[in-house]
Amino acid sequence: MTPKNQIAIFASGNGSNFEAIAHACAENRLNAKVALLVCDNPDAFVVQRAKKFDIPVFEIQPKNYTTKADYETEIMQILKKYNIDLICLAGYMRLVSDVLLNEYEGKIINIHPSLLPAFKGLNAIQQAFEYGVKLTGVTTHFVDKTMDGGKIIEQVAVSAENCTLEELETRIHAVEHELYVNTIHKLQTHYQL
């Protein structure tokens, strides 16, 4: 059996996608281990979730670094220590730049709650709802320098009809939790991480 992939999840907030991936690993639905949470917000609920799973947390505050390169270099050192071979952004509200992109080329992925390239950025579910689309969805993609940019890996459509914003959020999050695990599995199978 191939060795487990060592995943680092980067998150800034609630962490429901973090938990979905950690759960899939704990139940051996993924041949991977969430080896590290990287969190740029000390108050984020995702930190509590990591403690529940006994997953080490690396807390880092960008305001303590002069440049983005310094900030990412510090993160990279800890990623090396944990032998990370896949980075999953899960509600990480920050752009990734050269230091990490060059070192982990093709190994940084993100999930976004819309059918990209529609509704990039913050509050994508609300943006789609307010626009009045009939169909929205979830996208997983490789990460590049741009916001919610990079080659699409998978998309799942979600109906936005006959629901409130809250109901649409519930539908989208349920799809996200399943899709992110599927995408990691797909990468392990087809991209030989």
- Please list the active-site residues: 112
Q: What is the dihedral sign for C-alpha 56, 107, 171, 174?
A: negative
Of 55, 75, 101, 111, the residue at the interface with ligand GAR (CB under 6 A) is 111
Contact call for residue 137 and ligand GAR (CB under 6 A): no
Q: Which stretch binds ligand GAR (CB under 6 A): 7-15, 61-69, 149-157, 181-189?
A: 7-15
DSSP 63: G
End-to-end CA distance of the chain: 14
For residues 66-103, b (16+ Cβ closer than 10 Å) or e, as one string?
A: eebeebbeebbeebeebebbbbbbbbbeeebeebbbee
Nearer to ligand GAR, 91 or 150 (CB): 91
Q: How far is the CB of 189 from ligand GAR (least distance, A)?
A: 23
CA distances in angstroms from 45 to 137, 151, 169, listed in the order given: 24, 29, 18
Residue 113 found at the interface with ligand GAR (CB under 6 A) = yes
Minimum CB distance to ligand GAR smaller for 20 or for 187 = 20
Residue of 25, 35, 137, 176 interacting with ligand GAR (CB under 6 A)? 176
Stretch that binds ligand GAR, among 13-21, 27-35, 80-88, 183-191 (CB under 6 A): 13-21
Question: Per CB under 6 A, does 108 bind ligand GAR?
Answer: no
In whole angstroms, give the CA distance from residue 114 to residue 157: 8
Q: Of 113 and 150, which CB lies nearer to ligand GAR in the complex structure?
A: 113
Using CA atoms, how far residue 188 sits from 7, 106, 121, 180, 185, in Å, is 12, 12, 28, 13, 5
- Cβ contact 1:31 at 8 Å: yes
Residue ranges in 78-107 that form contacts with ligand GAR under rule CB under 6 A: 90-91
User: Of residues 112, 119, 150, 168, which one binds ligand GAR by CB under 6 A?
Assistant: 112
Using alpha carbons, select from 192, 191, 186, 173 the residue that is nearest to residue 16: 173
Return the residue nearest ligand GAR (CB atom). 91
Binding site for ligand GAR (CB under 6 A): 11, 13-18, 90-91, 111-113, 124, 148, 176
